[in-house]
Structure 1
Amino acid sequence: MIPPSRRTRFRSPALAAGLAIAAALPFYPVSSADASGDRLPLGDADLAETRETQQLADGVELTRIVRGTEPAPPDQINTTPRGPWVVNVLTIDPAKARGHVESTYGPDLAPVEKTTDLVRLSGALAGVNASFFTFNANPQYPGDPVGLGVYDGELLSEPTGDRAEADLIIDSRSDEVLMGRTAWSGQVRNRQTGATLPLEHLNHPPVVPATCAELPDQTQCDQPGDAVLFNPEFGPTPTGHGVEVVLDQRGCVVRSSPDARGTTLDADQTSLQATGHDAAALLAITERGCLHRTSTLTDESGDQVDLHPGLFGVNGRYRLMAGGEVVVPPGSGDFFARNPRTIAGTTPDGKIVLATLDGRQTTSVGTTMDETAAVAEALGLTDAVNLDGGGSTTMSVNGALTNKPSGSEERAVGDALIYVED
């Protein structure tokens, strides 16, 4: 949470206790002031707002903003115009910083890790949670990104094609940032026969057709299934009915399992899994000869994204700002209501901003999608995306919590955006 620059303004012991978390962090203040000028457009206009900016490293600053001084009544968190709101803003200036922003998922892609652990294990200075991930939808593989995932030039998760998905791609070599929807296509082709098999997913457990759920031999299924490529970064591949073929780095078959999936891959291996009628197609295309794989990622303009070392990408839901304009769509329901939020964006002069907005608490009520876009605009972002939020919203500095997550404890997440010193 954000410590107030003038503690006398915070008359509630409960609010002050919540702010003590951030007060304990070993940062070095640059400035602290009553933000009477550039204020956040949240709630009533007369709310007190305080800010404290601390320099974490050359070109890296953390600003803590508290708007409102009284805790919200628990039954008014979603409606009160009095706040309070607690916002943590990490600003990286590539022109001055000695490091870069990257994404990381921990030891394997499929499990989840806490943001604080991802920051600590990466030796990063700071970071925030990033992509939406399967979480409770697939408890066996909870860290599987729901959308784009690029890690050091490796495309390990494809975009969903959902119009709500808004991706963030960062080139750590040039500090260039790309935002917006991306698209993907992939296939394998037998070099000898020319036969092809389209891929539905990358590193995502294939779905067994419901009508063939009890059929171990999926080659006998006449319903559409999935053909999926798995990289060793995923961890042990998913188990279940279907076909799995393991390939070496040349695309040649190492071993094949015609009626069961699930194996551990060596570092230089990949595997193909198939269910439904794709199972027979996979066995046929790998019967003889080696495979050539194509995987193409394109941006909103249809231009191919060059996947090279140093490129990182994560998925969000909804663009907040584009070219200096608020572009968040209208909506209703829980997702558009007040929630904790995580934002990533850029300023006109090329700074990269990562921000968390605490929510679902009497000490910080959170923001609607419209309010989130308004905060992004007030922070000077010309382009911004809404990353995973809710109980996932977390910021960490030096492996310690900087904000106050909404749950009883910090939630483990699929991946994180981190700042790493060179």
Structure 2
Amino acid sequence: MTHRQRRFGASRSVLTFLAALGTLAGGALVGAAPADAAPGWTRLATGVHYEQFDISAAAGPAHAHVLRVNLREPRVRVELLYPGAVAARATVSRLATAQGALAGVNGDFFNISETQHPGVEATGASVGPAIARGRVLKAAVPGGQRFGPALPPGTTTKDVFGVGTDRRARLDDLALDGSVRTPEAELPLGGLNQYALPVGSVGAFTSDWGAVSRVRATCGTDTDRAAPCSTDTHEVTVRDGKVVATADTPGRGPIAGGTTVLVGREAGARQLRKLPVGSTVTVRHRLVAATAGTPYRFALGGYPVLENGRPLPGLDDTTSAVRTAVGIADGGRRLYLLALDGAPGYRGGLTISEVAATMRTLGSVDAFSLDGGGSTTMAARTPGSAAVAALNHPSGGAERPVPNGIGVFSTG
């Protein structure tokens, strides 16, 4: 029995609602469906197909855009879309174009605003862990610091959707394991390239963070995102195992390769003040998966809504919105990427329980909710077009810049 089975297996109830997939709204994007695709599916590349359809939902009709991705096809892969830094954003179509992806959807929830902390810069960084091409980019913020709807019971900001080096997709959670070793002590590492650090901790920022100010990392608490910023902070810059600079206030600007900036708040700040320039410091960090399996090629945050074919208990069934989700089938070898349309006639969207039911109807055994609302975007390079463009209508009228997404790549 896996970690996730222990967590959810005994208590969940089966939803009686089952989303009714309606008839196709309009024809295929270009031409007729190929012989190897189900009726209604349009082939974008070998192993990648697109479909759109209506869903009869509690808030009225919703319109779904779906990509079906066959990971058994050796010419197809999925990777993390991101703009080259954790604290940065770009539209899905721009990210896909820049990285050469065939298609993609938006990803994790993120630090979109800072109205509670006047003068503090919103970082644009995502909530959960992120791995790109096997490289660990960041860890998860404390639960009380997340942006987005309330999490289902039993889930955390550490939950991820990912694909291993074995090309199989799975749901998991990734926890930070790290330390800061000084001449006097070995301190636990509380964060890695995060927009929020646990109270009393020390966090590490690397060249993957970007140029955005690190002050936001010391604002709020583990349970209250709107709590004031800490007045007890300290920062040290470590290069080649030595402290080369210190400051009482977290700084900003690019971090050079091979350099780590340590930011401490409260008890963490007091520990860092013991490290003058020239001190020897060793920083270690990694993400540890809760379930056994091959290392992750890529992973990003969100939260599970369907596991082992059953909706999670306590899924919201009252709040409807435009949504993005990813489903897993065929033992992790097939994906369904879902993005709802944000056009005015469909803006009612789905509840999270309806998302779980829809993903199950598509054939998913496991499913994972991603950021929604104005972030929901599906973009692709359709047959006959050289450009990647949005397939759905984003609810804000234009694509919203996002920190990351799921990119579908094909050499076919």
- In the superposition, the TM-score normalised over structure 1's length comes to 0.74
Aligned to 1:16: none
1:48 aligned partner = none
1:18 aligns with none
Question: 2:316 corresponds to which letter in structure 1?
Answer: G
Q: How many residue pairs are counted as aligned between the two chains? A: 349
CA 1:115–1:358 in 2, change beyond 3 Å: closer, same or farther?
A: same
Q: Which residue of 2 aligns with 1:117?
A: 94
Residues 355 and 235 from structure 1, CA distance in 2 versus in 1: closer, same or farther, beyond 3 angstroms? same
Counterpart of 1:129 in structure 2 is: 106
Superposition pairs of residues 35-50 of structure 1, within 5 angstroms: none
Q: Is the aligned partner of 1:244 residue 2:248?
A: no
The alignment status of 1:277 with 2:267, answered yes or no, reads: yes
What is the alpha-carbon root mean square deviation over aligned residues?
Answer: 3.1
Candidates 310, 314, 318, aligned match of 1:329: 314
55, 61, 65: which one aligns with 2:43? 55
Instruction: Work out the percentage of aligned pairs sharing the same amino acid.
Output: 26
Which residue is 2:380 aligned to? Answer: 397
3-state SS, counterpart of residue 413 of structure 1: coil
The amino acid that maps onto 1:329 is: G
Kindly provide the CA deviation profile for residues 5-51 of structure 1, in whole angstroms up to 9, marking residues without a partner as x: 686xxxxxxxxxxxxxx97x6x443169xx9xxxxxxxxxxxxxxx7
Matched, 1:176 2:168: yes
Distance in 1 (CA, whole Å) between partners of 2:250 and 2:366 is 46
Residues 1:286 and 1:158: Cα distance change in structure 2 (over 3 Å): farther
Q: Deviations over 1:104-150 (max 9, x none)?
A: 22032212211111111111100000111111247724421111112
CA offset at residue 184 of structure 1?
2.4
Whether the 8 Å contact between 1:339 and 1:368 is mirrored in structure 2 is: yes
Give the superposition deviation at 1:347: 0.9
Residues 260/63 of structure 1: CA separation in 2 closer, same or farther (3 Å cut): closer
Please show how residues 132-143 of structure 1 align to structure 2 within 5 Å.
132-137=109-114, 140-143=121-124
Q: CA deviation at 1:85?
A: 2.2
Amino acid at match of 1:291: V
2:16 maps to what in 1? none
SS in 1 for 2:208: helix
| 2:346 corresponds to which of 352, 359, 363 | 363
Equivalence for 1:320: 305
Q: CA offset at residue 372 of structure 1?
A: 0.6
1:322 positional shift: 1.1
**Aligned to 1:30, which of 11, 23, 33?**
33
- 2:70 aligns with 93
SS in 2 for 1:371: helix
Of 381, 391, 414, which aligns to 2:364? 381
Partner secondary structure for residue 125 of structure 2 = coil
Partners of 2:310 and 2:206 lie apart in 1 by 39
What are the superposed Cα offsets for residues 285-334 of structure 1, whole Å, 9 maximum, x if unpaired? 46654322232433334x59846xxx2111113x22212222252436xx
- Give yes or no for contact 2:242–2:277 (8 Å, CA) kept in 1: no
C-alpha separation in 2, matches of 1:388 and 1:260: 29
Query: Does the 8 A contact of 1:243 with 1:283 survive in 2?
Result: yes
Match runs of 1:222-233 below 5 Å: 225-233=200-208
Alpha-carbon separation, structure 2, partners of 1:186 and 1:388: 28
Partners of 2:140 and 2:194 within 8 A in 1: no
Q: Which amino acid aligns with 2:360?
A: E
Partner in structure 1 of residue 247 of structure 2: 257
Segments of structure 1 that go 5 or more residues without pairing to the other structure are 8-21, 36-50, 69-77, 209-223
Secondary structure in 2 matching 1:345: strand
In the superposition, relative to structure 1, how do residues 239 and 88 fare at CA in structure 2: closer, same or farther (>3 Å)? Answer: closer
Larger Rg: 1
**Kept in 2: contact 1:340–1:360 (CA 8 A):** no
Q: Give the structure 1 partner of residue 130 of structure 2.
A: 149
1:297 corresponds to: 287
In the alignment, is the contact (CA less than 8 A) between 1:87 and 1:356 conserved in 2? yes
Tell me how far apart the structure 2 counterparts of residues 368 and 384 of structure 1 sit (CA, whole Å): 14
Post-superposition offset of 1:186: 2.3
2:260 & 2:54 partners in 1: Cα distance? 49
Change (3 A) 1:178 1:291: farther
The equivalent of 1:410 in structure 2 is: 399
- TM-score, length-scaled by structure 2: 0.75
Cα separation, 2, equivalents of 1:278 and 1:304: 34
The structural deviation recorded for 1:268 is 2.4
Which of 306, 321, 341 pairs up with 1:339?
321
Query: What CA deviation, in whole Å up to 9, does each residue of 1:189-224 have, x standing for no partner?
Result: 12xx2512222221124579xxxxxxxxxxxxxxx5
Equivalent-residue separation in structure 2 for 1:304 and 1:290 (angstroms): 35
- How much has 1:359 moved relative to structure 2? 4.7
Paired with 2:212 and 2:123, the residues of 1 have a C-alpha distance of 13
Change in CA separation of 1:6 and 1:150 when aligned onto 2, cut-off 3 Å: closer
Residues in 1 aligned to 2:293 and 2:260: alpha-carbon distance in whole angstroms: 23
Is 1:299–1:305's contact at 8 Å kept on the other side of the alignment?
no
Distance in 2 of aligned mates of 1:137 and 1:304:
38
